[in-house]
Amino acid sequence: MLQQLAWMITIVLVAMLGLVFLIISRKAGRRMDYQPIQEKWYRIRKIWFISLVSVMVLATVLSLSRLPYDQPTEAASSVKEVDVKGYQFYWEMSQEEFIVGEPIQFNVTSMDVTHGFGIYDENFQLLAQTQAMPGYTNKVHYTFEKPGTYQILCLEYCSVGHHQMIKKIVVKPKNGGSEHGGK
């Protein structure tokens, strides 16, 4: 579907390029006064330059402010720290049940080779991820917004048992309620 769209866009762009070449080659024979053309395109170039710079500044400001590198704003004491260790071929976690709305910091490392720590929701949507590397601890901050069963999957091919590295974790509703909210 997307590939077809990409093909169509490519064909249209190639056709447009061809048209431009055709027009230029037809005009090439004619003599024209160069001065006004130069002035006109210098003006257009200046406007183009200013618009490009504005777009880039805007995009930089908007995208930088959304980088997930900031620390959680909550007081450090309210952040739940969870230790995660990757092994060939399973995950070991200091905690496997969580509560909606509690900010969590996963401290992710590996006890053998590099694994990929990925948190997926029930629709197999990736919510957060980092590398699980031997000798390092990578921190991921995440706050679950819905109760339910989530899955930890390995995102880095780590040898024959890679696909077995699945761990289910449970997120319970706030206020210590029952698990009916997850359905």
Q: What residue type is assigned to position 24 of the chain?
A: I
Joined together, the tokens standing for residue 28 give 């090439």
Name the one range near ligand CUA by CB under 6 A: 49-57, 60-68, 120-128, 158-166: 158-166
| Residue 159 CA: distances (Å) to CA of 131, 132, 151, 165 | 16, 15, 20, 11
Q: How far apart are CA 89 and CA 163, in angstroms?
A: 8
Q: How far is the CB of 133 from ligand CUA (least distance, A)?
A: 11
CB distance 139 to 102 below 8 Å? no
Q: Is 158 in the site for ligand CUA (CB under 6 A)?
A: yes
Q: What letters, b where the CB count within 10 A reaches 16 and e where it falls short, cover 136-157?
A: eebebbbebeebbebebbbbbe
Q: How far is the CB of 119 from ligand CUA (least distance, A)?
A: 14
Q: Is 156 in the site for ligand CUA (CB under 6 A)?
A: yes
Which single residue is written with the structure tokens 């169509």? Answer: 8
Q: Is 126 in the site for ligand CUA (CB under 6 A)?
A: no
Name the one range near ligand CUA by CB under 6 A: 21-29, 35-43, 149-157, 173-181: 149-157
Q: Is 115 in the site for ligand CUA (CB under 6 A)?
A: yes
- Our CB check for ligand CUA shows the closer of 100 and 140 to be 140
Q: Which of 52, 126, 157, 166 binds ligand CUA (CB under 6 A)?
A: 157
Residues that bind ligand CUA (CB under 6 A): 86, 115, 154, 156-158, 162, 165
